[in-house]
Amino acid sequence: MPPKTMFEKIWDSHVVSAEPGKPTVLYVDLHLVHEVTSAQAFDGLRMAGRKVRRTDLTVATVDHNVPTWDRALPVTDEISKKQLDAMKRNAEEFGITFFDIRSAQQGIVHVIGPELGYTQPGKLIVCGDSHTSTHGAFGAFAMPIGTTQVEHVLATQCLVQSGIKSMEIRVNDRLPRGVTAKDLILGIIGQIGVDGGIGYVVEYTGEAVRSLSMAGRITVCNMSIEAGARAGMIAPDETTFEYLRGRPQVPQGKDYDAIVQQWRQLPSDPGATYDKVVEIDANALAPFVTWGTNPGMVASVVDKVPDPASFATDTERAATERALKYMGLEPNIPIQEIKLDRVFIGSCTNSRIEDLRAAAEIVKGRKAHPDIYAMVVPGSTTVKREAEEEGLDVIFKEAGFDWREAGCSMCLGMNPDILQPGERCASTSNRNFEGRQGPGGRTHLVSPQMAAAAAIAGHFVDIRDWE
Amino acid sequence: MEPFVKVTGIVAPLDRVNVDTDQIIPALYLKRIEKTGFGEFLFNAWRKLPDGSPNPDFELNNPAYNGSTILVTRRNFGSGSSREHAVWALHDYGFRTVIAPSFANIFHKNCFENGLAPVILPEDVIADIMAKAKAANGYKLTVDLEAQEIYDEQGLSVSFVVHAEPEVNEFRRYCLLNGLDEIGLTLQIEDKIAAYEASRWGKSFTPARNAPLEARP
């Protein structure tokens, strides 16, 4: 047999139907559902008199719309409440597992999948959310889908796909001290561009990737979509197996040993070829800060805001000018002189217990800068509980940070956590698009460590110099 | 789904690269549980000034583009969030087709699900159409999906695809032309799905079924 990539192995084992001239029909092992992209899909099922084909492979929660204030308080936004109620009603009517707003396991769909062990190597996972690529960190093929496809998967448990190419991004050597998984992925997007991954499933390989924790791998795969990729994935290894051992949905005892044996077959075979290979030197990476309005507009913390005149084409110059105007930044000012109003630590990119520990280590015994309002939003109610058991909440609260309930929060501006027009925020989230964190808000993407240090200093600082 | 066969209409220009779906429809307006009514909020932050009045500097607010059904834009259109609401908003506003050098993957797929034809053309042709549309003098194009040809009254006539892969292009074009619903197509092979399910559990690479888990405290 010719050598196969991990992606090819997973693809091949999920083919339900492959006919010439038609897209391939693939079987879905896990369908994650949330309130924002599912209401119209369930409506479609109802109108056609269809059922959810596999309620046992479908799991729902609420995350995008939920306020992160005290869970005992009501949801005051009537339209949000309508959407949250619709999710609950649909989950009950169609009989699918649902982690409601008051559930002990509620959280961002991409945080609870891995932490409850639903996300496993070799699975084909879909969700009506672009950051579904997150789950590829476990050696799964995890793809985002639109609402019509959500309806399609609910009705058929299948995904219709075609024409996917593969790309290897090989990260050689190790990440220097102070350079995190977030910086790695921002560096990659800066290099290949926000459309560099269009049409590709990206497999991240190399020493720097192998030495990342699961939380780090999750951050990298999560932002694959920001490079335009269809999905990102990392081969499972001992780090993966250890993370999954004992999680609620993972087989236990002998069954665990047996499934690990299957998972060991997944990594790409020696000699397997990719349609494209990109090499990255981990040593050359630094802590990164985005300065513009897409995640590819990124600079090292020791650099300056670029000058539009330095770009080669009219289109790039115009895009840079537009971005700087929106961001309220002058060309050529040092990144570390950018003063901030807000700091957000959270989102499906960086809200896991490891992220909160890393931020707390920076914050411990210090106070937030008086000009800064900083908030920490755990990715799930489970993460929040763990953090509180470790006393991280106390560290943040003593430093003057706001400690919140779990949800998507200020990553996307569709719940009460938003920036005011003109406010500037250091954010551990994934998108710095115009208005992403609220109309007129200005977002700079950074790692949890960089965000925490910025909250103390009031401006960006090089975390490598942090005492 | 409404079939897409041939559309002739005014071309509105959006001369920007990497237009993301947060711009096409901001998250604030995703809370509706219907598929309709999103057109009002299309490009909301660009179209409207903070006080809600129309922004005179935004291209689509130029009365010359009233009633336009064709949007021409630059590469990587529809990047970012998977929200299908972006396609619903474009369609609800009145666009029937978007012309660009490339589309972000999920947006591209969402177009086919809703009968919005994503027309892919080379950069130089886009530049020509963009310049003509920007003249704001009622420039019209015809997008003929049956003939896979786009043409205007000034002599432009080029063939296009809706997907870069020839085989996929043929399939997607067929579905658009006939307004085919993918769920119906897949349910035609229900026997294959059942056969796959029957053979699947117990084979290699088989993930465990979800164990029961108390969802509420």
As a whole number of angstroms, the distance between CA B86 and CA B41 comes to: 10
- Given an 8 Å threshold on Cβ–Cβ distance, is B205 in contact with A146? no
Q: State the pLDDT at residue B201.
A: 61
Q: Count Cα neighbours of A42 within 13 Å in the Cβ-side half-sphere.
A: 22
| Domain of B89, in residue numbers | 6-180
In a domain, B206, yes or no: yes
Q: Do residue B139 and residue B194 come from a single domain? A: no
Q: Do residue B105 and residue B159 come from a single domain? A: yes
Determine the distance in angstroms separating the CA of A124 from the nearest CA of chain B, rounded to an integer.
Answer: 9
Partners of A198 in the beta sheet?
A229
pLDDT in tens, A72-100: 899 999 999 999 999 999 999 999 999 99
Mean pLDDT of B45-72: 95
| Nearest residue to B82 (alpha-carbon basis) of A190, A126, A52, A326 | A126
In a domain, B209, yes or no: yes
- Given an 8 Å threshold on Cβ–Cβ distance, is A315 in contact with B74? yes
As a whole number of angstroms, the distance between CA A201 and CA A227 comes to: 11
Name residues 304-323 of chain A within 8 A of B (Cβ): 315-316, 318-319, 322
Q: State the pLDDT at residue B212.
A: 46
Q: Do residue B108 and residue B203 come from a single domain? A: no
Q: State the pLDDT at residue B31.
A: 87
pLDDT exceeds cutoff 80 at B118: yes
In a domain, B37, yes or no: yes
Mean pLDDT of A160-172: 94
As a whole number of angstroms, the distance between CA A465 and CA A450 comes to: 11
Strand order across the beta sheet in which A373-376 lies? A402-403, A373-376, A342-345, A424-427, A442-445
Distance, C-alpha A270 to centroid of its chain: 29
| Nearest residue to A466 (alpha-carbon basis) of A359, A314, A311, A351 | A359
pLDDT in tens, B81-117: 999 999 999 999 999 999 999 999 999 999 999 999 9
- Given an 8 Å threshold on Cβ–Cβ distance, is A322 in contact with B186? no
As a whole number of angstroms, the distance between CA A192 and CA B100 comes to: 20
Name every chain A residue with its beta carbon within 8 A of the beta carbon of B82.
Answer: 37, 128-130, 132, 144-146
**A55 at the B interface (CB within 8 A)?**
no
As a whole number of angstroms, the distance between CA A355 and CA A163 comes to: 36
Determine the distance in angstroms separating the CA of A424 from the nearest CA of chain B, rounded to an integer.
Answer: 18
Q: Do residue B189 and residue B116 come from a single domain? A: no
Q: Do residue B191 and residue B166 come from a single domain? A: no
Determine the distance in angstroms separating the CA of A390 from the nearest CA of chain B, rounded to an integer.
Answer: 22
Name every chain A residue with its beta carbon within 8 A of the beta carbon of B131.
Answer: none
pLDDT in tens, B179-196: 988 898 899 999 999 999
Q: Do residue B160 and residue B209 come from a single domain? A: no
Extended beta strands in A106-190, E state: 124-127, 141-144, 158-161, 165-172
- Given an 8 Å threshold on Cβ–Cβ distance, is B105 in contact with A59? no
What is the count of structural domains for chain B?
A: 2
Q: Do residue B157 and residue B187 come from a single domain? A: no
Chain pair A-B, CB pairs under 8 angstroms: 229
Confidence of residue B206 (pLDDT cuts 50, 70, 90): very low
Instruction: Identify which of A20, A53, A228 has the shortest CB distance to residue B79.
Output: A228
- Given an 8 Å threshold on Cβ–Cβ distance, is A294 in contact with B16? no
In a domain, B158, yes or no: yes
Determine the distance in angstroms separating the CA of B70 from the nearest CA of chain A, rounded to an integer.
Answer: 21
pLDDT in tens, B132-181: 999 999 999 999 999 999 999 999 999 999 999 998 999 999 999 999 88
Q: Do residue B107 and residue B36 come from a single domain? A: yes
Contact B209, A57 (CB under 8 A): yes
| Nearest residue to A293 (alpha-carbon basis) of A178, A154, A196, A194 | A194
Mean pLDDT of B43-69: 95
**A258 at the B interface (CB within 8 A)?**
no
**Any idea what the CATH number is for the domain that residue B92 is in?**
3.20.19.10
- Given an 8 Å threshold on Cβ–Cβ distance, is A433 in contact with B22? yes
The values of phi and psi at residue A285, to 5°, are -85, 155
In a domain, B1, yes or no: no
As a whole number of angstroms, the distance between CA A387 and CA A391 comes to: 6
In a domain, B72, yes or no: yes
The values of phi and psi at residue A29, to 5°, are -85, -30
Contact A218, A185 (CB under 8 A): no
Q: Do residue B127 and residue B203 come from a single domain? A: no
Q: Do residue B94 and residue B189 come from a single domain? A: no
pLDDT in tens, A104-131: 999 999 999 999 999 999 999 999 999 9
Determine the distance in angstroms separating the CA of B134 from the nearest CA of chain A, rounded to an integer.
Answer: 15
In a domain, B110, yes or no: yes
Q: State the pLDDT at residue B204.
A: 38
- Given an 8 Å threshold on Cβ–Cβ distance, is B208 in contact with A255? yes
- Residue A21 burial by Cβ neighbours in a 10 Å radius (0-12, 13-18, 19+): exposed
Name every chain B residue with its beta carbon within 8 A of the beta carbon of A36.
Answer: 30-31, 83
Determine the distance in angstroms separating the CA of B114 from the nearest CA of chain A, rounded to an integer.
Answer: 8
Q: Do residue B73 and residue B161 come from a single domain? A: yes
**A331 at the B interface (CB within 8 A)?**
no
- Residue B1 burial by Cβ neighbours in a 10 Å radius (0-12, 13-18, 19+): middle
Instruction: Identify which of A103, A149, A226 has the shortest CB distance to residue B216.
Output: A103
Q: Residue written as tokens 């539009």?
A: A308
Q: State the pLDDT at residue A355.
A: 98
Q: What residue in A sits closest to B79 (Cα-Cα)?
A: A228
As a whole number of angstroms, the distance between CA B127 and CA B101 comes to: 10
Determine the distance in angstroms separating the CA of A122 from the nearest CA of chain B, rounded to an integer.
Answer: 6
Confidence of residue B216 (pLDDT cuts 50, 70, 90): very low
Contact A286, A301 (CB under 8 A): yes
**A22 at the B interface (CB within 8 A)?**
yes
pLDDT in tens, A340-364: 999 999 999 999 999 999 999 999 9
**A16 at the B interface (CB within 8 A)?**
yes
pLDDT in tens, A237-256: 999 999 999 999 999 999 99
The values of phi and psi at residue A71, to 5°, are -65, -15
Q: Do residue B159 and residue B206 come from a single domain? A: no
